[in-house]
Structure 1
Amino acid sequence: MHDEGILMFDSGIGGLTVLREARVIMPDKRFIYVADDAGFPYGDWEEEALRARLIPLFGQLIEQYRPRIIVIPCNTASTLVLSDLREAYPDTPFVGTVPAIKPAAERTRSGLVSVLATVGTVKRAYTRELIDSFAHECEVNLVGSRNLARMAEAHIRGEPLDQDAILAEITPCFIDKEGRKTDIVVLACTHYPFLANLFRKLAPWPVDWLDPAEAIARRIQSLAPMENGNFYHAADLGVVTSGRPDFATRRLMHGFGLTVI
């Protein structure tokens, strides 16, 4: 049996955190991982320019790879174009990623929740709608970073990090108010879990760093259940939109078991 595969699309290599979880529960599935290195980082784009880039790009990917499902483990892209993509390509199921505000609101004890995201995700109306719908009884602190995604990419590639710079990015997440402290920080960018251990080390007090990767993987599984019979699939692929993967990206994708093309 041949499966066209599950295509994962991210602005860079941050979505590999979701790929890792998806493979654990779906070892029978073929994955095609697409890193939009030509457009990275999305936080620097104006909304309309990014929308104009992404919608036709997905059309090209659908035509080339014929994916069974497209997963967008990128909060910035999902909150901006997910509804447009579903309208433009109605025959292709899309799984998006939005800040895990609902589970954070359900878990918090202090009522103080921070959402660590890109500037683009923070300013989206959709993010505010999630707060109004699921966290109206909490105080949600939106923290938009222009630098963390780049820092995470550098870290993944083995480059040294400035811990003081990292601390400056995450410090606004921590609020001490009238005897209550932030107890949950939502990691609303797929790059950020790669820095989670460093976040824990630098944090002024312990918090629950909420990574949605497993929840996204479960959602994919619900749309692509295991099939009966002898399952065959070709190699998992790693694709970069520039067509020129650098050495570090190639090495990383190989480390995740991807054949880089």
Structure 2
Amino acid sequence: MKIALMDSGIGLLAATAAVRRLRPDADLVLSLDPDGMPWGPRTPEDLTERALAVAEAAAAHRPAALIVGCNTATVHALPALRARLEPEIPVIGTVPAIKPAAAGGGHLAIWATPATTGSPYQRNLIVDFANGVPVTEVPCHGLAEAVEHADEQAIDAAVAAAAALTPAEVTTVVLGCTHYELVGERIRAAVQRPVRPPLVLHGSAGAVAAQALRRLGEQPAPEAPATGTLTVLLSGREGALPAPALAYAEGRLLRSVSPAR
């Protein structure tokens, strides 16, 4: 079984690691776009064009499914990606975990990029899945960029700034950008109040990985032999994981895997 994942940068690491843990025997193809990143500031049309190119580079390796490991690309490019690749290759998008987070009750904060915060897309998700639950949208200025470059000081500053915008009564935080899952514990430490119950974090990686297996009619097999290979595509060129990826546990999990031949 071969599964491809795509993003402009290393935000796809969280979903990649989740797939690797569920199926150590799966061959993985990671398609990144260092020539075109970041995607966030691009127009929807330009972003869709870049996403299609990255997806087609992955599709050339004949995966059984493609995971869009990026919230922004899912918002703007998912219909075009599905029109281009399905039904031959199922395409699985990444949506913020607002629905399961809201099911727990309590005050909810959604950490997202400034472009996503307050957007019609996110507001519609709140109306659909968190109606009646107190919700605070928190714009995280510079956090995705800091995570992308593994800039420790910039990560600390961006997390602290977003934590300062998060109300003390918040019990649950939705990580609305895949990059944020790579620093989830740092976010938890920054938001957790000493006298409050343990903070609940909701990311999307585990659900996305499980959905990909369901679309393929496969079952999790975490006990399977770790024979899965790894192919990394950098704007269509075969290469290696970007160096900043190894700053995170998810990237180090993949480091020992041999490239596909």
Tell me which interval the TM-score lies in, with the shorter structure as reference length: 0.7 to 0.9
Change (3 A) 1:119 1:247: closer
Contact 2:146 2:152 in 1 (8 A): no
Aligned match of 1:116 = 111
**What do the CA deviations read for 1:104-133 (whole angstroms, capped 9, x no partner)?**
11013x2x2111112333354332221111
1:182 corresponds to which letter in structure 2?
V
Residue 247 of structure 1 and its aligned partner are, at CA, apart by 6.3
1:219 to 211, 214, 231: 211
- Partners of 1:133 and 1:161 in 2: how far apart? 37
Q: Please state how far the C-alpha of 1:135 moved relative to its aligned partner.
A: 0.9
Counting only pairs closer than 5 Å after superposition, residues 1-261 of structure 1 correspond to structure 2 as 3=1, 5-62=2-59, 64-91=60-87, 92-108=89-105, 110=106, 112-155=107-150, 159-162=151-154, 163-172=156-165, 174-176=166-168, 181-203=169-191, 205=193, 206-224=198-216, 225=218, 235-241=229-235, 243=237, 248-249=243-244, 252=251, 255=255, 257=257, 259=259
CA contact (8 A) 2:113 2:141 kept: yes
Could you say what secondary structure the match of 1:121 adopts?
coil
Moved more, 122-131 or 5-14: 122-131
- TM-score under structure 1 normalisation? 0.81
Instruction: Quote the Cα distance in structure 2 between the aligned partners of 1:80 and 1:226.
Output: 30
How far does residue 24 in structure 1 lie from its aligned partner after superposition? Answer: 1.5
SS at match of 1:44: coil
The list of structure 1 runs, each at least 4 consecutive aligned residues, that deviate by more than 3 angstroms after superposition, is: 231-234, 242-247, 249-254
Compared CA separation, residues 136 and 256, structure 1 to 2 (3 A): farther
Q: Aligned partners of 2:90, 2:18: CA distance in 1, in Å? A: 20
Structure 2 runs not aligned, ≥5 long: none
> What runs of 5+ residues in structure 1 fail to find an aligned partner?
none
Q: CA deviation at 1:18?
A: 1.3
Q: Separation in 2 of the partners of 1:232 and 1:17? A: 18
1:23-44 C-alpha deviation (Å, 9 max, x unpaired)? 1111232111122222222222
Identical-pair percentage? 27
CA RMSD of aligned residues (A): 2.9
The one-letter code sitting in structure 2 at the alignment partner of 1:185 is: V
Q: How far apart are the structure 2 equivalents of 1:242 and 1:66?
A: 14
For these two proteins, the number of residue pairs brought into alignment is 244
